[in-house]
Structure formats: C-alpha cells, structure tokens
Amino acid sequence: MAKKIKLILAAFVAAVSFGIYQTLAINNASAEEADRHPILLQISPTKQKISITPGSSYVGSFIVHNAGTQRFSYSVSATPYSVTNQEYNPDYSTVARYSQMSDWITFDESTRTGTLEPGTMRDVAFTVNVPADVPAGTQYAALMAQTEDGNADNATIAVIHRVGMILAATVPGDTRETGEIIKNNVSTFYFNPPVTMSSLVKNTGNVEQTAKYTYKIYPLFSNEALYNNEEDPQKLDIYPETERFNSMTWEGAPTLGIFWMEQTVELGDQVPISKVGKLVLICPLWLIFIIFALLFAAIFWLVARARSRKNVGAEANSSDKKEEA
C-alpha cells in the first residue's frame, strides 16, 4: 500500500513539473515571437458609422498607428464586407446587396501609402463617391491597412500584417427597421459555472439596428438583485437581413445555489421587447452523487426496516398459533 502511495505522489509531482515546464516554454516562445516580429500595426477606430446621400461624396479619415518597435511601410485598400452564419464570421470578398460600397471608395494619394516610424501615426483620408442610383439601406466596406515584416530594416522573412476598419454607411430613402427576437433562453440547471444566457435576433429590415442585452440575478428569497448589467448593457450591431446569435455569461456565479435569472433583449424601437425569467439551480455533479447515494441508503434502510418488522410480526403470529394449538 505504501509503495502505491509513493508511486502516485511521484506521478503527481512529475505532472506538475511538466505543466510548469510547458507554461515557461510557452511564455518564452511568446517572448521570442514578439522579438522576431516587432511590427505592430493598429487602426482606429475599428468601426465608423456614417450617412451618405445618392449622387454625393463623403470625405472621412482613419488613423494608422505604428505601435511596434520597427519602422515599416504601409498601404491601404477597400474590400467588401459582410457576415456569414449566426456567429457573424466576417467575409471580405463577397459583393452582395449590402456590400457594394468598396467600389465607391478612393484614398488620398498622399496618405494611401507611406512609412511610419515606431510610435507614430498618420491620418488616412478617404472619399466615398456615392452613385445616384444607390438603394436605400446600409452599405458596408472594410478599409484595410497592410504592411509586411519584409519592410522592416532587419527582417528576413516577409510576414503580412493586416488590420481593418468597418465602414457602415446609411443611405436615406425607403428604409425599414423591422425584425424579431427569435429566441431568448435561460437554462435552468448547471453542474458548475459559468452560467450563460443565449438569444437569437433577426433583422428583417434594410438598415443596421442595435440589439441591447441586459440581465438580472436574484437570490431565491429576495427582490434585491445580486448582479445586473443595466448600467453597462451589452450592445451588438445587427446587419440587414441577418440573424445573430449571442451568449452572455454570469462570471460571478457560485458553485452552488438556487437563483432567479432574467434576460431582456431589445431590438430598436419597432420590435417588442423580449423578457424571460427562470429558476436556475447550480449544483456540482459530485454533490448530486452524494445526494442520490444518501437517498438510496435511506430508501434501502426503510425497506430493510419494513421487512424486518414484517418478519418479526410473522414470527410472533406463528408463535401465538403454536401456543393455541
């Protein structure tokens, strides 16, 4: 028995040592990666919302920033932008009904390309030349900034760095702000945290809308909320004619408890608000096993006791009959 315990302890120490080694190796690898690629290209803002008029021009700008330690050359371009599936995976190549704007964008030649020293930034000017027959609704494009490690003084391998800003332009006219909240769900049972709430929102209109997500968590016997995000609700843009899935997490959830949870989802001013509330139980799996084991033991004890009493009663009746005989 003592030998088995020593083997288990030795295996545990080896596993911990290996985990520490792996962590240090990963950290060292990350540091070495940063040393090998000191180019850090940033763009701001990451999204701009503008209004454009058919037949007119809009002039705007964004910032390209060298946040790294090496000088580099950059260039900018415009690509289509749309999203695919309910998780909103980006698509930078498909030209569709709401992603035609990349063909209307030109850049100021003085800032379209250039060189940035470490810690410096530059305003890049762009112009949107809007066609006269553009349909009403929201149009999207991605304004991309690109550089290569091969442009750095000491670079030996060319690695492309690319970042982008989403440009969302609303065209006035026959716009529709319609949609629906397809799902608003709070699960009722968890073995352990985190506790999540999910929803699915659909924009059936032709303009971008903003969905707002709030939640509240109450103790079982109290009207005072333990947690809520009303002061800083989650807000997500919902693109025209798309469905967007969203999941929120209660990060401060304990490992055991019973709570009342509410989630409210709003989509613009035209769609009815969706609010759902459920009783939520958080109970570890090991505790469930213990509870069932205790119940089984209690039932077994009650059945055994009932049988014992029945046998004692039967023996007493048999003795009484013998005495009478």
How far is the CA of 212 from the CAs of 166, 179, 220, 233, in angstroms? 20, 14, 26, 7
* Topology at the third CATH level for domain 41-171: Immunoglobulin-like (2.60.40)
Question: Helix, strand or coil for residue 321?
Answer: helix
Return d(Cα 169, Cα 208) in angstroms, integer.
9
pLDDT of 37 higher than 60: no
Q: What is the pLDDT of residue 247?
A: 96
Predicted confidence band of residue 3 (pLDDT cuts 50, 70, 90): very low
**Burial (Cβ within 10 Å: 0-12, 13-18, ≥19) of residue 204:** middle
- Say if CB 164 and CB 142 are below 8 A apart: yes
Return d(Cα 244, Cα 204) in angstroms, integer.
12
Predicted confidence band of residue 50 (pLDDT cuts 50, 70, 90): very high
- The alpha carbon dihedral of 63, 101, 79, 241 has a sign of positive
User: 132, 164, 159: which is closest to 55 by C-alpha?
Assistant: 132
Burial 303-317 (b: 16+ CB within 10 A, else e): eeeeeeeeeeeeeee
Return d(Cα 185, Cα 101) in angstroms, integer.
36
Return d(Cα 17, Cα 76) in angstroms, integer.
48
| pLDDT tens digits along 108-133 | 999 999 999 999 999 999 999 999 99
| Chain CA centroid to CA 116, Å | 33
- Say if CB 262 and CB 250 are below 8 A apart: no
Write out the two tokens for 305: 């006791």
CATH class of 179-285: mainly beta
- Say if CB 251 and CB 160 are below 8 A apart: no
The structural domains of the chain, with segments of one domain joined by +, span: 41-171, 179-285
Q: Do you find a cis peptide bond into 45, omega within 30 degrees of 0? A: yes
Total residues found in the chain within this entry: 325
pLDDT of 16 higher than 50: no
Q: What is the pLDDT of residue 325?
A: 58
Residue 174: CA count within 13 A, CB half-sphere: 3
Mean pLDDT of the 134-143 span:
96
User: 231, 181, 230: which is closest to 204 by C-alpha?
Assistant: 181
8-state DSSP, 149 = G
β-pair partners for 166: 47, 142
Return d(Cα 263, Cα 280) in angstroms, integer.
12
Question: Helix, strand or coil for residue 93?
Answer: coil
| pLDDT tens digits along 175-218 | 999 999 999 999 999 988 889 999 999 999 999 999 999 999 99
Write out the two tokens for 217: 């968590």
Where on the phi/psi map is residue 268: left (φ > 0), alpha (ψ -120 to 50), or beta?
A: left
Would the CATH topology of 41-171 be identical to that of 179-285?
yes
